[in-house]
Amino acid sequence: MYNAPKKEFILGMRDTAPLLLGAFPFGLIFGALAVSSGLSIKGALAMSAFVFAGSAQFIAVGLITAGAPIPIIIVTTFVVNLRHLLYSAALLPELKKLSHPWRLVLSFFLTDETFAVSAGRYRKEDDSPYKHWYQLGSSIIMYLNWQFWCAAGLVLGSRIPNTTSWGLEIAMIVTFIGMTIPYIRTKPMVVTVLTAGAASILTLQLPYNLGLIISSLLGIGAGVSAEQILSFKKGSKENT
């Protein structure tokens, strides 16, 4: 007996509920920052509706405020969102069973939170053919929540001064901490995290947040190298 699609959909929404907590102050601060950045209200709403990527939107607004050139903002968006490539690679075995409209829709709505929750559902052993409905439920609730709080942030930001000094960025920080911890299990991952962290401090002074791109790439490079060195050592031990 499988859960009906509707049941999966509701379960996906329910299991995503605790994560909405992190997205709500994050959406508010995005809206509030957008007001003072020089982005129009329509532009900010369109960004939330069509880009739908919290951290990238947040950084883009910061870059717009700093007067960064458009190509830099787009490249930064690319690097910040590159992690979604891993998410879609991880979900690929499940997603490729689906029809094209489904793939399109689920890809558009892919976020850190929906990935985390849905990967857990796909991993469960029951062979329900409707697990993608669960991902859809998670996607839709994340999307509606994000649109709502971004709009609220826009209204709030234009009415109440200093909304941006409330420190709501903390929501992004704690969400990312919760996303990062599960990765830190192997030595190469520790190398990645330490390298990216140290580099982000050292490059903070660079203009237009370029330090973010550099630190991310250095972290990835360091982790991959560490992995290769370790597997090489392991290989040579096995041979002797």
Partner 1 sequence: MTSINEIILLSGMVVVTFSIRYILVAFSNKYSLPGEFEKYLEFVPPAVLTALIVPAVFMPEGSWNISFGNAYLVSGSSAAIAGFVFPKKTLAASISTGLAVFFLIRLLSYS
Instruction: Scan residues 131-160 and list those touching partner 1 (CB under 8 A).
Output: none
CB of 1 to partner 1, least distance (A): 26
We find the least distance from the C-beta atom of residue 157 to partner 1, in angstroms, to be: 16
| Binding to partner 1, residues 23-52 (CB under 8 A) | 25, 38-40, 43, 46-47, 50-52
Token pair recorded at residue 93: 């075995």
Whole-angstrom distance, CA of residue 78 vs CA of residue 72: 10
Q: Which residues contact 63 (CB under 8 A, 6 or more apart)?
A: 72, 73, 76, 208, 209
* Smallest distance from partner 1 to CB 4, Å: 25
Instruction: Answer yes or no whether residue 7 interacts with partner 1 by CB under 8 A.
Output: no
With binding defined as CB under 8 A, does residue 88 bind partner 1? yes
Residues 157-186 that bind partner 1 (CB under 8 A): 166-167, 169-184
Residue from 95, 136, 141, 154 touching partner 1 (CB under 8 A): that is 95
- Calpha distance 32→38 (Å, rounded): 11
How open is the CA angle 221-226-229, to the nearest 5 degrees? 125
CA 116, 110, 53: angle at the middle one, nearest 5? 105
| Helix pair angle (70-81, 54-65), 10° resolution | 160
Question: What minimum distance in Å lies between the beta carbon of 154 and partner 1?
Answer: 15
Are 29 and 58 within 8 A, CB to CB?
A: yes
Q: Shortest CA distance to 43 belongs to which of 78, 13, 70, 25?
A: 70
Least separation in angstroms between CB 145 and partner 1? 13
| Residue 232 sits in the site that holds partner 1 (CB under 8 A) | no
Rounded to a whole number of angstroms, the minimum distance from the CB of residue 37 to partner 1 is: 8
What is the nearest approach in angstroms of partner 1 to the Cβ of residue 34? 11
Restricted to residues 57-86, the positions that interact with partner 1 (CB under 8 A) are: 59-60, 64, 70-71, 73-74, 77-86
Give me the helices (H) in the chain, please: 5-37, 41-46, 54-65, 70-81, 83-95, 100-108, 112-123, 131-159, 170-180, 187-202, 210-239
Residue 124 touches partner 1, criterion: CB under 8 A: no
Among 18, 124, 144, 187, binds partner 1 (CB under 8 A): 18
Site for partner 1 in 189-228 (CB under 8 A): 189, 192-193, 195-197, 199-201, 204, 211-212, 215-220, 223-224, 227
Q: Toward partner 1, which CB reaches closer, 2 or 197?
A: 197
